[in-house]
């Protein structure tokens, strides 16, 4: 009896120690691990696109896998090119309307001060004078250069992943010559790949749909930079809950600054908010179903956790990383209870028996 209790205590202590070391590695090795994690997600996205192109029926013909992969890579490159041009164009246009926005902000502050009963409204010009534009520009350029360098590393990783994926099965067979053990590892990897690709594909589709409809609303209302905000909404939609809220607040605040009337603000706030609610709470759960099997509370907690460890990148990747963690934890008996606690319904898919 004592030996059983002792072995369980040792197993529990070992599990806690491994988890603690894992968190230390994630924090201390973030500069190395973040580009790798981003490249893996892009690799999953490319494979999901390739699978989608392959499944498109053209009569009795289907696009070959190799051609589907080429189309997926081309689609991603075209998308990145369009995004780069969109951001560049909008940065130039912001300077043209900055004075108008500043004047509207002053009007809003004056109205708010009157409502609040303030004798003297804050001087917006004095506030802007306190801002060190040269320092902000230097930081922005530094951050841009750092992002460009990191993105270059990410692209290199993605290329190597694409080159290596054909020979991965042979390496797996060489690493695990025993058939049962090899099947277990293959089952684990297949579950991870299936769930991550499903999440990436569905999230990309719903985010794109949200961005397009939001762009249409902003265009109809006449909000400036509608294309840019449509893209930002698409991007923010990958961040659970918080991203959707920011995707509503940011363009609504621009509408408030741009127009003298509050009507466009409420139209944008209500219209985009309704779209976010319908797609995020009705359409997306129907498409995803129970495939991810993660508790909504765990999603929020993982958002805070990964955001604190890896910053904004962690917020974007929190769901895929948590899905991987649940699958890996469910694979080992000592950590299986943790996986059950993290799951949405308490049911964990059984692994292959030894």
Output the CA angle 233-43-290, nearest 5 degrees: 65
Reading the block at residue 280, the tokens are 């995020």
- Please name which of 184, 186, 191 lies closest in space to residue 169, comparing C-alpha atoms: 186
CA distance 66 to 115: 65
Residues 9, 21: Cα–Cα separation, whole Å? 18
Helices vs strands, H then E, count in the chain: 13, 2
Separation CA 53–CA 63 (nearest Å): 7
User: Long-range contacts for 161-170 (Cβ within 8 Å, ≥24 apart)?
Assistant: 161/39, 161/40, 161/43, 162/43, 162/46, 162/69, 162/73, 165/43, 165/47
Kindly give, in sequence order, each residue whose CB lies less than 8 Å from that of residue 67, ignoring residues fewer than 6 positions away: 53
User: Distance between alpha carbon 84 and the CA centroid of its chain, in Å?
Assistant: 18
The Cα–Cα gap between 27 and 346 comes to 29
Per-residue pLDDT of the chain (354 residues; tens, 9 = 90+): 555 556 666 766 776 787 778 878 888 888 888 888 888 888 888 888 888 888 887 777 888 888 888 898 898 888 888 877 777 776 666 666 666 666 666 666 666 666 666 666 555 555 555 555 455 555 555 555 555 567 778 888 888 888 888 777 788 788 878 878 888 888 888 888 788 878 888 888 899 999 999 999 999 998 888 888 888 899 889 888 888 898 999 898 888 888 877 888 899 999 999 999 999 888 887 777 556 677 778 888 888 888 888 888 888 888 888 888 888 888 777 777 878 887 776 667 665 544
**How far apart (Å, rounded) are the C-alpha atoms in residues 109 and 166?**
61
Neighbours of 36 (CB within 10 A): 14
Instruction: Report the C-alpha gap between 128 and 102 in whole angstroms.
Output: 10
């Amino acid at each position: 009896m004592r030996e059983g209790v002792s072995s369980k205590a040792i197993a529990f202590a070992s599990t806690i120690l491994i988890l603690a070391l894992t968190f230390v590695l994630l924090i201390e090795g973030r500069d190395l691990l973040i580009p790798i994690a981003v490249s893996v997600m892009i690799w999953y996205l490319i494979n999901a696109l390739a699978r989608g192109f392959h499944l498109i029926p053209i009569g009795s013909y289907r696009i070959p896998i190799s051609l589907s992969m080429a189309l997926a890579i081309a689609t991603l490159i075209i998308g990145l090119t369009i995004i780069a041009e969109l951001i560049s164009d909008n940065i130039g246009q912001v300077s043209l309307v900055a004075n108008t926005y500043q004047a509207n902000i002053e009007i809003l502050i004056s109205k708010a001060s009157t409502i609040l009963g303030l004798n003297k409204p804050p001087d917006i010009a004095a506030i802007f004078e306190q801002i060190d534009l040269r320092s902000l520009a230097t930081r922005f350029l530094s951050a841009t250069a750092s992002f460009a360098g990191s993105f270059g590393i990410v692209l290199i990783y993605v290329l190597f992943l694409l080159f290596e994926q054909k020979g991965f099965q042979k390496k797996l067979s060489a690493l695990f010559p025993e058939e049962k053990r090899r099947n277990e590892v293959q089952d684990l990897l297949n579950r991870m790949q299936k769930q991550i690709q499903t999440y990436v594909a569905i999230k990309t589709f719903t985010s794109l749909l949200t961005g397009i409809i939001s762009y249409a609303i902003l265009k109809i209302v006449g909000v400036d930079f509608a294309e840019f905000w449509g893209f930002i909404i698409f991007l923010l939609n990958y961040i659970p809950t918080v991203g959707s809220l920011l995707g509503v607040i940011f363009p609504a605040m621009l509408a408030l600054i741009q127009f003298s009337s509050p009507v466009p603000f409420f139209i944008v706030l209500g219209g985009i908010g309704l779209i976010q609610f319908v797609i995020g709470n009705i359409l997306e759960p129907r498409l995803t179903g129970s495939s991810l099997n993660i508790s909504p509370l765990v999603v929020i907690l993982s958002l805070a956790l990964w955001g604190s460890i890896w910053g904004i990148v962690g917020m974007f990747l929190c769901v895929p990383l948590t899905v991987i963690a649940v699958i890996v934890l469910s694979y080992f008996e000592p950590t299986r209870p943790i996986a059950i606690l993290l799951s949405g319904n308490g049911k964990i898919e059984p692994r292959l028996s030894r």
